[in-house]
Amino acid sequence: MKHLEIRGLSSAYGSVRVLRDVSLDAGKGEVVSLIGPSGSGKSTLLRVLIGLTPPTAGEVSIAGEKVNYRNRRSVKAVRDRMSIVFQQYNLFQNMTVLRNVTVAPIKIKKRPRAEAEEDAMSLLERVGMAERKDAYPDELSGGQQQRVAIARALATNPEILLLDEVTSALDPERVNEVLDTIRALTSEGITMLIVSHEMAFVREVSTRIAMMDEGRIVECGSPARIFDSPTKARTRDFVSKILKH
Amino acid sequence: MLEQIAEQIPLFFGYHNVIFILQAAGRTLGMTFAGCSVGFAFGFLIAVLRQTTGPVLFLPRLLGIAYVEIFRRIPFLVILFIVLFVIEPLMPGTSLFGIATVSVCLLSTAFLSEIIRSGLESVPMQQIEGAKVLNLNGLQTLFMVILPQSWKVILPPAAAFVVMFIKDTSLASQLGVIEMTFAGEMLVNRGFSPVLGFGVVLVCYFAMSYPLSRLAIRLEKRLEAS
Ligand SMILES: Nc1ncnc2c1ncn2[C@@H]1O[C@H](COP(=O)(O)OP(=O)(O)O)[C@@H](O)[C@H]1O
Ligand SMILES: [Mg+2]
């Protein structure tokens, strides 16, 4: 049984179909990356998984349990086990770094404040943001904000972590600090779905890569296969174009 | 004319007149603040209602929108008369002050609701989705994420609205409420110089609204700093 199983998933914004019959799975602790041109449905796939955009067809199971996205409780249960980090504006602007990281553990998981703060501090330590625990998001650089956002996503102990272009809005010199943070997570047994345009990084950390185009998964395979010997022309095109940059 | 004014000043600022003027000022402030406070509370409820989705609250949401859209377009004087003609037969003996205050409520609910709504909507979608995926519920999201970020958008126009309404309550004089403007008129009718009577009214309006404007500016600065 796969940890995350996606079967025939479709979704649409109004009459525009943006996901078409997507199937994908990930074993426990696997790092699966989604690549593909912008508008191909990568973000939508992650949004459907975490219950922000409703699917129109298909199934998702986590550790064998089917998710019912029409049912509030089922969606809550999914979000209990899964976290997401977006491209930007993740952190609550009105809360300090520490409060951002502890708000869900305290309010949702009902953990004692002292304990939650202790854990939050060790997470912040891991992403190198412990000294800035009392800062507000607008006092931090984009890269620092994203590192805190990753710490916040981890604070609820997710089994599955979704990362949607978390470095795309950053200044180039800030990208590596965030990629380093993610790299350090890949060996911790958290199943990860990563959307990224950082091809070298994707190649290095992924166990498998799925190429998306026009709402479909065109091809899925090992990094070596996707980058060195893709079978689909669409993948070849995309990979060669993006590697040239 | 100056002589006449100088002559009238001791009489004008006699004990009874001063009490009379202070009471009138009290009514003006009372109508405005009681009315706008209740208006803020109801306006807040309607604004929050309008942020909801889904079929359960469809009807209340529709009523909320209808209320705001209708009442924003009725002149205050017309509301005063409508309230008068509705309340008088239903609850005879209601004071004119009470009727005017209810009218302020009705109108300020509509305007403040719009001000609060645009404040709530100024918070970026990502903040709300961020709260959702952490499993915060609707109320937690509202009070812990949305409201703390929207005060600085809500407060300046809300304060400006209340300050404006201090002036607009002068229309209640048409009903016979002895508020600031009507008090000035009565004093002038008693033979005091119009320059003196309405000059004092003018100073009183300024004295009532200026501190509030300053307070709002200070609060705004404080909010911006945080
Ligand atoms: N809120 C939305 N309303 C309508 N269309 C949308 C919305 N979000 C995304 N889309 C469309 O859905 C398609 C897939 O978008 P997205 O999942 O964001 O792609 P990607 O993340 O791969 O760039 C695009 O054509 C985009 O224009
Ligand atoms: Mg995207």
Write out pLDDT tens, residues B24-48: 999 999 999 999 999 999 999 999 9
Three-state DSSP state, A128: coil
Check whether A242 has a pLDDT greater than 90.
no
Instruction: Write down the pLDDT at residue A132.
Output: 96
Neighbours of ion ligand 2 (CB under 5 A): A 43
Could you state, in order of their start, the residue ranges of all structural domains in chain A? Answer: 4-87+160-243
Q: Which domain holds residue B84?
A: 2-225
pTM score of the predicted model = 0.88
Q: Ligand 2 center to residue A86 CA distance, Å? A: 9
Instruction: Write down the pLDDT at residue B141.
Output: 96
- Using the structure block, give the residue that is written with the tokens 């972590």: A161
| Domain total of chain B | 1
Check whether A1 has a pLDDT greater than 80.
no
Interchain contact B8–A (C-beta under 8 A):
no
Query: How many Å apart are CA A163 and CA A178, to the nearest integer?
Result: 11
Contacts of B144 in chain A (CB under 8 A): 92, 103, 107
Among the partner residues A52, A92, A104, nearest to B135 by beta-carbon distance: A104
- Residue A16 CA: which ligand 1 atom is closest? 5
Q: Measured between CA atoms, how close is B136 to chain A, in angstroms?
A: 7
Q: Which CATH class is domain A4-87+160-243?
A: alpha beta
Quote the mean pLDDT of chain A. 94
Contacts of B148 in chain A (CB under 8 A): 94
Q: Measured between CA atoms, how close is B118 to chain A, in angstroms?
A: 18
Query: How many Å apart are CA A85 and CA A101, to the nearest integer?
Result: 13
Least confident of A48-57, A211-220, B174-183: B174-183
Interchain contact A72–B (C-beta under 8 A):
no
Query: How many Å apart are CA A50 and CA B133, to the nearest integer?
Result: 7
Instruction: Write down the pLDDT at residue A245.
Output: 64
Instruction: Write down the pLDDT at residue A93.
Output: 95
Q: Ligand 2 center to residue B161 CA distance, Å? A: 42
Ligand number nearest CA of A42 is 1
| The amino acid at B147 | L
| Closest to A70 (Cα-Cα) out of A78, B61, B134, A5 | A78
Question: What percent of chain A shows pLDDT beyond 70?
Answer: 100
Helix runs in B52-193, H state only: 58-71, 76-90, 96-121, 125-133, 138-140, 147-168, 180-189
Instruction: Write down the pLDDT at residue B223.
Output: 78
| Closest to B118 (Cα-Cα) out of B88, B70, B155 | B155
How many CB atoms sit inside 10 A of residue A59's CB?
15
CATH code for position B96: 1.10.3720.10
Kind plus residue range of the DSSP H or E element containing A146: helix A142-154
Mutate to test the pocket of ligand 1, among A15, A16, A18 (most ligand atoms within 8 A of CB): A18
Check whether A192 has a pLDDT greater than 70.
yes
| The amino acid at B75 | P
Give the residues surrounding ligand 1 with Cβ less than 6 Å away. A 13, 16, 18, 36, 38-44
Query: How many Å apart are CA A163 and CA A198, to the nearest integer?
Result: 13
Query: How many Å apart are CA A144 and CA A129, to the nearest integer?
Result: 7
Confidence of residue A123 (pLDDT cuts 50, 70, 90): very high
State both tokens at A28.
């426990």
DSSP state of B160: H
- Are A79 and B135 an interchain contact pair (Cβ–Cβ within 8 Å)? yes
> Which residue on chain B is closest to A149 by alpha carbon?
B130
Pairing of strands A57-62, A31-35: unpaired
Q: Ligand 2 center to residue B99 CA distance, Å? A: 56
Taking 50 as the pLDDT cut, the residues of chain B under it are none
